[in-house]
């Protein structure tokens, strides 16, 4: 399966090959990103790390911002 | 207050909505980069009552982004902001609360307000505030910033509030880098959201707005119900 990933921190778009039943958590681990530091959207919706990915999903990974 | 004071916004939404603003009570939790901006726009718009909550005093490092001056250094933020707001609009009543929000005092502190602005700078207290708003069914106007970027969402009853977005996230350690216009932008949006909620004019932003000022992008992300 193939997914498109946008990483806000690097302003970079990537296309990634992933196995079936890959979760967001697995993808983040592969990308060496701590899930506790990011908010992930899948096809325009905020999702949890347990979400299972589908072919052609579009993911965006935003840094958590907490300043005020 | 003569109509001419609000002439330009009466052209936007009319007198009956202006009267709603005059009767409204808004709590601003955190009076730093976000809160000091939002509070000023709300006072200028004719909000009836603003409750300012912040336990900090003004420090030199605040002055690149928070609307305080050198003569305010060392003084409580809530007192300095109160003075400023009273000059901007003497008819807006201001209550300055120099306290830290905790699980014990949060519900009681915000209970008498119609809309709550989350202008805090740490995750733990943001979640305390969010939980309190959820228990009371109060709308929560969340804003946050870092660098040249920011996020904003308005959370209403039934939305799941901030735990839907910040589930299992790490608090930021150390000083957060911030350029002044970032909280200026997000704080202004928060004021606009509060005005929309009170007046009923315009639609609240119930998606997560992600603004990146460095790369010039704006995204709206849905939150699953």
At A7-64, the pLDDT tens digits run: 998 889 999 999 999 999 999 999 999 999 999 999 999 999 999 999 999 999 999 9
Q: How far is CA B133 from CA A57, A59, B160, in A?
A: 34, 30, 10
Taking contacts as CB-CB distances below 8 angstroms, the residues of chain B near A62 are 151, 210, 219, 221
Asked whether the beta carbons of B107 and B119 are under 8 A apart, the reply is no
A68 in a structural domain: no
At B13-43, the pLDDT tens digits run: 999 999 999 999 999 999 999 999 999 999 9
Q: Closest CB to A41: pick one of B118, B183, B221.
A: B221
A25 touches chain B (CB under 8 A): no
In CATH, what number is assigned to the domain containing residue A25? 3.10.20.30
Q: What is the pLDDT, as a whole number, of residue B173?
A: 78
Gap between the Cα atoms of B152 and B128, Å rounded? 18
Element (H, E) at B53: strand B49-53
A6 in a structural domain: yes
Chain A residue closest in CA terms to B184: A68
Q: What is the pLDDT, as a whole number, of residue B171?
A: 82
Question: Bridge-partner residues for B142, per DSSP?
Answer: B118, B153
A28 in a structural domain: yes
- What is the total count of domains within chain A? 1
Asked whether the beta carbons of B41 and B119 are under 8 A apart, the reply is no
A10 in a structural domain: yes
- Give B180's DSSP letter: T
* Helices (H), ranges, B137-225: 181-199
Are residues A8 and B151, on separate chains, in Cβ contact within 8 Å? no
Instruction: Give yes or no for residue B150 having a pLDDT over 80.
Output: yes
A25 in a structural domain: yes
A50 touches chain B (CB under 8 A): no
At B84-138, the pLDDT tens digits run: 999 999 999 999 999 999 999 999 999 999 999 999 999 999 999 999 999 999 9
Q: What is the pLDDT, as a whole number, of residue B1?
A: 64
Q: How far is CA B216 from CA A40, A42, B143, B190, in A?
A: 19, 21, 18, 20
Instruction: Give yes or no for residue B168 having a pLDDT over 90.
Output: no
Asked whether the beta carbons of B84 and B37 are under 8 A apart, the reply is no
Full residue range of the structural domain in which residue A54 is found: 2-63
Give the ipTM. 0.92
């Amino acid at each position: 399966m193939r997914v498109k990933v946008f990483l806000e921190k690097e302003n970079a778009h990537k296309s990634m090959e992933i196995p079936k039943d890959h979760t967001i958590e697995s993808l983040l681990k592969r990308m060496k990103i701590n899930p506790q530091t990011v908010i992930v959207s899948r096809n325009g919706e905020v999702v949890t790390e347990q979400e299972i990915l589908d072919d052609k999903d579009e993911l965006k990974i935003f840094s958590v911002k907490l300043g005020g | 207050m003569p109509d001419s004071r609000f002439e330009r916004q009466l052209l936007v939404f009319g007198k009956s909505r202006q009267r709603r603003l005059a009767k409204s009570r808004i709590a601003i939790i955190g009076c730093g980069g976000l809160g000091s901006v939002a509070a000023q726009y709300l006072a200028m718009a004719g909000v009836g009552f603003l409750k300012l909550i912040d336990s900090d005093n003004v420090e030199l490092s605040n002055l690149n982004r928070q609307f305080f001056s050198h003569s305010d250094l060392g003084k409580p933020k809530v007192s300095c902001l109160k003075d400023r707001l009273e000059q901007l609009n003497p008819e807006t009543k201001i209550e300055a609360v120099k306290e830290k929000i905790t699980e014990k005092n949060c519900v009681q502190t915000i209970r008498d307000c119609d809309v709550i602005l989350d202008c805090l700078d740490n995750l733990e207290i943001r979640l305390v505030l969010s939980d309190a708003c959820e228990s009371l069914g109060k709308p929560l106007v969340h804003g946050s910033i870092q660098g040249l970027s920011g996020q904003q969402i308005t959370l209403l009853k039934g939305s799941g509030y901030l735990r839907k977005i910040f589930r299992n996230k790490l608090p930021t350690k150390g000083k957060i880098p911030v350029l002044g216009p970032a909280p200026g932008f997000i704080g202004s949006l928060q004021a606009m959201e509060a005005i929309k909620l009170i007046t009923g004019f315009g639609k609240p932003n119930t998606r997560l707005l992600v603004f990146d000022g460095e790369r010039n992008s704006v995204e709206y992300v849905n939150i699953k119900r």
